[in-house]
Structure 1
Amino acid sequence: MCSPLIIHSRMSQDSHHGKWTVSSSDEDDDLPLSGTTTSKPHQPAVSSPSYQPAASPTPTIPKIEAAPVEVKPEPANAPVSSLVIGSEARQSAAANQVNTVKYESSPSLAGKRKNEVSDGSGWALSDSEDDDGDVKGKSLGNSPKRAPPSPKTKKVKVENERPTSPYGRLYYIDEPEDFFESSIPPLNDPYRFYLNKVTGLDRKYNSGALHIRDILSPLFGTLKESAQFNYCFDIAWMVDQYPSEFRDRPVLIVHGDKREAKARLLQQAKPYPHVHFCQAKLDIAFGTHHTKMMLLWYEEGFRVVITTSNLIRADWYQKSQGMWMSPLFPRLPKGSSDDEGESPTFFKRDLLEYLAAYRAPELEEWIQRIREHDLSETKVYLVGSTPGRYVGPDMERWGHLRLRKLLYEHTEPISGEERWPVIGQFSSIGSLGVDQTKWLTGEFQRTMTTLGKSSIRSAPPLHLVYPSVEDVRTSLEGYPAGGSLPYSIQTAQKQLWLHSFFHRWKADATGRSHAMPHIKTYMRASPDFTQLAWFFVTSANLSKAAWGALEKNSTQVMVRSYELGVLYVPSAFNMKTFPVSGNPFPVSSSSGFTVPFDLPPTSYSPKDQPWIWNIPYNQGPDTHGNIWVPS
């Protein structure tokens, strides 16, 4: 059975949200600058529009009163997410997500779904990388706190009964037999952008979608070796996703874990001698290795997959994810020079530059393999982040200034573009400053509104899509899905101004409205939301750590984390804009771009609250009878 969520105490804080005991290790915007630079500083080459943002009302979040809860104790020595390996913040959050509290009058979950909770591997945290230290330094070793049972609460019903689910009985079972039937997506798909399969949905809403088993299927090539770049790993689960004939082929794990987390990761891999490791260098505080990429080397060629999913089952189960899958790149003829096989988007050059930034001997063999293949069919641009402080021309190599440069060079001004909104969608939020001008509109939005060499005078609308409490409560997973949305109380309290930008997560057009997002997308849409000026899918959430932040009077940019995504611009597809698909399933019948949520976005109502993961939600049960109570 489930036990209370654990939030280890560091600071007691009064707020609009009530009085909670929370960690105080949030990102400090005034951290002293360290490191030296050798290049001459200069202003970014890209001209940027000026802004006069409209004042936004500052919302508040109602105080939530605690309620008595009956908790059935766990068995002694119950495992806590032992298979989830990531940063300390990640593992602390994993414990929180697994140990959800049962609503006091609801029956328990049964069968396989209940077993997932008890073994710690089914509801593992999907992402907590970007709160810039809010939950750093917590330990999983402390014993869980348990509320004393109340004599007035009802007894838990027998295990073979379940709460009624609005999503039908398929919700409670594992993937159906045909769920893992691998099939090659439509070969005429021009974008090569795919959503993931989601357990519990009607089969038609998974048509053309991909599971990790599909990606690694022999239908895509005879695998010789692979490299898996990611933030969080379940090694045993990952190995099991490879087809049996490829299951012992060499795999290189590129990760950012240190100390105890690294030791746990290595321990996981002991039964698998074909699994090897490369540790990414993280020299700036609160940075993470958050890139999610697969390099797949086949007998027939080479492939790159850039995705938003961690290598844990929870991320491929009932969450909305996205991915770009490259064509199968053929090997260049013997004697070809290293710079042959380049694409019009310079994808090969940029991928090699990104891998070189790791400064890792373990990646040299992969760098050489890429040089030996023809990547000329690629139609997307690569946008990465790597940790460091950059000046001069290097400022435009990474993060949002890299995106700004590409939009400046490869898009065209559009008539009436001041009415074309920017839409950002993400699953985690960092500390952005005391007001919107500090980073969001003063820096980030300026990048997102760049269209060629135009210079607009006022900011177009900025819609930020992030799930509300009600979105999480009524999701396929219920409250445990909120463990993948690590927006903390201590960060939210400092930036209540941000909440006025928020829009609901809704995806009825794709049949996925209740699969909580772990995908991260950014785009520029027409006023009627039928056209896109560009589209970007990435691992980067809404944080300065991921995108970079200007320093020293805008002569230096500091990036904390590794991130990776691909940018679609219409000119690379011989188009002026991308049409938006109104009915993306099945994918083969769609000629437009698949946006994973409903357009136009729906603004928060006065009653809506953004999901905050480390405060209780005990006023009503979720779709499985759970409540969410940090203690």
Structure 2
Amino acid sequence: MLQEGAHGKWTVSSSDESPEENSDSEKPSTSSVLDAAHDTSVPQYPCSEARKAAQKRKTSPLKFSDKRFSAEAPPAGKQRTSQEGSGWCLSSSDEEPEDQEKHAHKETVKEEKTDAPKHPLKLCKDDELSENQKAEEYYEAPSETQDTWDLLNGGNPFRFFLTKVRGIHQSYNSGALHIKDILSPLFGTLVSSAQFNYCIDVAWLVRQYPQEFRKKPLLIVHGEKRESKAELLAQARPYENISFCQAKLDIAFGTHHTKMMLLLYEEGLRVVIHTSNLIADDWHQKTQGIWLSPLYPRLPQGTSGSAGESETNFKSDLISYLMAYNSPTLKEWIDLIQEHDLSETRVYLLGSTPGRYQGSDKEKWGHLRLRKLLKEHALSIPAQESWPVVGQFSSIGSMGADGSKWLCSEFQESLVAAGRSVMSLKCDVPVHLVYPTVNNVRQSLEGYPAGGSLPYSIQTAQKQLWLHSYFHKWSAEVSGRSHAMPHIKTYMRSSPDFQKIAWFLVTSANLSKAAWGALEKNGTQLMIRSYELGVLFLPSAFGLDKGCFHVKGKMLSESDNPATYFPVPFDLPPEQYGSKDQPWIWNIPYTDAPDTHGNMWVPS
């Protein structure tokens, strides 16, 4: 069956119709994790098929000049995921449920031939080292003390940071953080910590803590089941200080996708909400986002439980989120949060937790939570009805047969909410979706393997060619990260000239109904599959009474107030796909042009 759209042709098998959107899964059975325990081409931690393919191509690259390729590389139609026949599955890698394959599909993609890209940035000299070695060694030395102190106490009123990237000019890493910076003694004298995440390499995580903190109590909150849970527990056996909390995922194809750190110090408590998995690759050459809380001091003994609340209700919302796990293991952390003063928080917490919600509970989570926050706290701006919305993400779920099924109906209605007056949904509100093209990935620092963390599948893409007309390229010259592929996820409402934004959200939630929720039963019920977490920045919480942030460009004059300029991490206005651009799809081959390392992409 030939599918054709504005951004290319795909040939897919007509022998098997794609299954229902909610029966798909990008993260397959992880029985293969244990089977592959001695295979160095497979990551030694539970992860997605897309990530495994990327690791395989890093350890066993297919050179563009390799004449043996046609004999070595099986066609895409011969690929078989380890999920087939397993009898069960977990959802999503990074990220979102993708289509479950009952039979193999034949897929091909047509791409313009181009010469080998001339990378504008200097690549690493130590190409003989493994990617993980590069990531480890580059950040072995901690940041300069003064730089880190300035980050904590200097001119970043939003406390929004990007991760450090190897291979870009160091000026673009000024003000950026690595996980070793976050866990540094400069941030506090650690007593214990909790790490909430999706994909976790336990041994790597332990090495990110300073030597003096590596035996402090560490709680890992995860969503693994069965074989992948056994593998995770096995990773931690050498570490007596590590304990686990398994997040309940009672709705099929949900995932524990939240990425948060709770850090208890002798000096107080800190909350970190970010977008990176706890693996070396995610902190090496990707664009990731971090919100770092202030250091919350302990309240005086005998203070009431309602003390230490912020104007954004962050404390009670964080406690509500942790209580949604319904886990005795997290009770200790809930009590610790109660004992601290979170009143200096200026962001709003926006989470998703699995479940089916009715009545007032509908507005506690997901996109209806965003709608409620914007209605109650965002200021109405004249002519804002025409302001576009911009979504940027690293994975895409099934949107339905057309925009009216979710994207341009209930989800868009939440994104355009503002002020207490109910705004009528305008179908002509521009929607800009920022997602990397094939050439974005090909010309990236990592080359094609960067696409392992962009798990948009052919099975999902071929069902929703209509979506691709909304796509815009990844371009991030403003932050020096055009060649560091995004794993960050952000959403915002922008003025038509892209000089101002009404709000900004950084979150773990990709573009999917599993992450944001979908209405059921004639709109009376919201169903969410996954755990997600993010923070919403509203101008009013930062004392800006005109209802918007300015967009931070490449240069600010000395007279500009940095507190009014929000550091959007990619270029505005976004550039729409051209006629020859195609969205990156991970599970089809790209053999017509080499990447920055001279390699092709064949995922099997």
TM-score, normalised to structure 1, is 0.80
- Offset at residue 574 of structure 1 (A): 1.3
Indicate conservation of the 8 Å contact 1:479/1:628, yes or no: yes
Indicate conservation of the 8 Å contact 2:64/2:593, yes or no: no
Equivalence for 1:130: 95
Structure 1 residues 502 and 362, CA gap change in structure 2 (3 angstroms): same
Indicate conservation of the 8 Å contact 1:196/1:316, yes or no: yes
Q: Secondary structure at the match of 1:442?
A: helix
- Counterpart-to-counterpart distance in 2, 1:506 and 1:445: 24
Equivalence for 2:73: none
5+ residue gaps, structure 1, are 1-12, 32-75, 108-126, 139-161
Equivalence for 1:302: 269
Structure 1 residues 471 and 282, CA gap change in structure 2 (3 angstroms): same
Structure 1 residues 91 and 504, CA gap change in structure 2 (3 angstroms): closer
Structure 1 residues 25 and 508, CA gap change in structure 2 (3 angstroms): farther
Structure 1 residues 590 and 558, CA gap change in structure 2 (3 angstroms): same
Equivalent in 563, 567, 570 of residue 597 of structure 1: 570
- Counterpart-to-counterpart distance in 2, 1:315 and 1:321: 8
Equivalence for 1:50: none
Equivalence for 2:491: 522
Equivalence for 1:583: 554
Deviates more, 1:576-585 or 1:359-368: 576-585
- Offset at residue 82 of structure 1 (A): 3.5
- Counterpart-to-counterpart distance in 2, 1:279 and 1:137: 29
Indicate conservation of the 8 Å contact 2:21/2:99, yes or no: no
TM-score, normalised to structure 2, is 0.83
Question: Which residue identity lines up with residue 607 of structure 1 in the other structure?
Answer: K
- Counterpart-to-counterpart distance in 1, 2:557 and 2:59: 37
Indicate conservation of the 8 Å contact 2:117/2:595, yes or no: no
Indicate conservation of the 8 Å contact 2:55/2:449, yes or no: no
Indicate conservation of the 8 Å contact 1:536/1:567, yes or no: yes
- Offset at residue 420 of structure 1 (A): 1.4
Equivalence for 2:458: 489
Do structure 1's residue 28 and structure 2's residue 20 form an aligned pair?
yes
Indicate conservation of the 8 Å contact 1:27/1:133, yes or no: no
Identity among equivalent pairs (%): 59
Structure 1 residues 203 and 22, CA gap change in structure 2 (3 angstroms): farther
Do structure 1's residue 195 and structure 2's residue 162 form an aligned pair?
yes
Do structure 1's residue 225 and structure 2's residue 192 form an aligned pair?
yes
Do structure 1's residue 84 and structure 2's residue 45 form an aligned pair?
yes
Structure 1 residues 136 and 30, CA gap change in structure 2 (3 angstroms): closer
Q: Secondary structure at the match of 1:355?
A: helix
Question: Which residue identity lines up with residue 587 of structure 2 in the other structure?
Answer: N
Q: Deviations over 1:293-312 (max 9, x none)?
A: 00000000000000000000
- Offset at residue 79 of structure 1 (A): 1.7
Q: Secondary structure at the match of 2:404?
A: coil
- Counterpart-to-counterpart distance in 2, 1:610 and 1:179: 37
Indicate conservation of the 8 Å contact 1:387/1:559, yes or no: yes
Equivalence for 1:606: 579
Equivalence for 2:532: 563
- Offset at residue 270 of structure 1 (A): 1.1
- Offset at residue 170 of structure 1 (A): 3.4
Indicate conservation of the 8 Å contact 1:24/1:134, yes or no: no
- Counterpart-to-counterpart distance in 2, 1:416 and 1:385: 31
Q: Secondary structure at the match of 1:494?
A: coil
- Offset at residue 585 of structure 1 (A): 9.7
Equivalent in 95, 115, 121 of residue 167 of structure 1: 121
5+ residue gaps, structure 2, are 24-36, 68-91, 104-115, 128-133
- Counterpart-to-counterpart distance in 2, 1:234 and 1:585: 40
- Counterpart-to-counterpart distance in 1, 2:337 and 2:437: 42
Question: Which residue identity lines up with residue 300 of structure 1 in the other structure?
Answer: E
- Counterpart-to-counterpart distance in 2, 1:232 and 1:29: 23
- Counterpart-to-counterpart distance in 2, 1:404 and 1:23: 42
Do structure 1's residue 329 and structure 2's residue 289 form an aligned pair?
no
Equivalent in 82, 97, 103 of residue 63 of structure 2: 103
Structure 1 residues 96 and 541, CA gap change in structure 2 (3 angstroms): farther
Q: Deviations over 1:501-543 (max 9, x none)?
A: 0000000111111000000000011112111100000000000
Equivalence for 2:393: 426
Equivalent in 355, 376, 380 of residue 413 of structure 1: 380
After superposition, residues 226-265 of structure 1 pair within 5 angstroms as 226-265=193-232
- Counterpart-to-counterpart distance in 2, 1:27 and 1:252: 37
Do structure 1's residue 469 and structure 2's residue 430 form an aligned pair?
no
Question: Which residue identity lines up with residue 124 of structure 2 in the other structure?
Answer: L
Structure 1 residues 456 and 392, CA gap change in structure 2 (3 angstroms): closer
Equivalence for 1:455: 423
Q: Deviations over 1:589-609 (max 9, x none)?
A: 955211110000000011110
Equivalence for 1:363: 330
- Counterpart-to-counterpart distance in 2, 1:554 and 1:334: 46
Q: Deviations over 1:334-366 (max 9, x none)?
A: 001111100001000000000000011110100
Q: Deviations over 1:226-274 (max 9, x none)?
A: 0000000011110000011111111000000000000110111111111
- Counterpart-to-counterpart distance in 2, 1:233 and 1:446: 35
Question: Which residue identity lines up with residue 594 of structure 2 in the other structure?
Answer: P
- Counterpart-to-counterpart distance in 2, 1:397 and 1:526: 28
- Counterpart-to-counterpart distance in 2, 1:134 and 1:22: 15
- Counterpart-to-counterpart distance in 2, 1:227 and 1:406: 27
- Offset at residue 84 of structure 1 (A): 2.7
Equivalence for 2:108: none
Task: Give the total of aligned pairs.
Answer: 533
- Counterpart-to-counterpart distance in 2, 1:297 and 1:282: 27
Structure 1 residues 423 and 83, CA gap change in structure 2 (3 angstroms): same
- Offset at residue 187 of structure 1 (A): 2.8
